[in-house]
Copies of this chain bind each other. A is one copy, B any other.
């Protein structure tokens, strides 16, 4: 496998690309994170989502603490080459660190962000 496919990605000034994780089956958007070249290469090699954590400045194997790994079914690249879409199977049914199914649990209603999705598991029980 040549490394050229990595060069088809338009990495930003920090060497990162936006990565969207969508759940196979439900089609729900689980989360949006970032990848660098190594994270994308490892995602391909391991078959599970690996991101680059900007806050921790290190590789982040999704689910490394929580067990909520994301098995990758398909990897897509957008027309501009600056966004990756992962189609994933979400272990445990929880993608968000708040213990919710996905991260987009706030909906704009009458001028404010209303929480519209339940916590499925207490984060204290997820991250011990």
Which residue of B1, B79, B103, B112 contacts A80 across the interface (Cβ within 8 Å)?
A: B103
Which chain A residues (95-109) contact chain B, with CB distance < 8 Å? Answer: 96-98, 100, 103-108
Q: Note all chain B residues with C-beta closer than 8 A to A107.
A: 74-77
- Residue A39 at the B interface, CB < 8 A? no
Q: Are A1 and B103 in contact (CB under 8 A)?
A: no
User: A: which residues have CB within 8 A of B?
Assistant: 1-2, 4-5, 8, 18, 20, 22, 26-29, 31-32, 44, 74-80, 83, 85, 96-98, 100, 103-108, 110-113
Known: A5-B113, A79-B100. 13 other contacts (CB 8 A): A5-B111, A5-B112, A18-B32, A22-B29, A29-B29, A44-B108, A74-B107, A76-B104, A76-B105, A77-B108, A78-B103, A78-B104, A83-B104
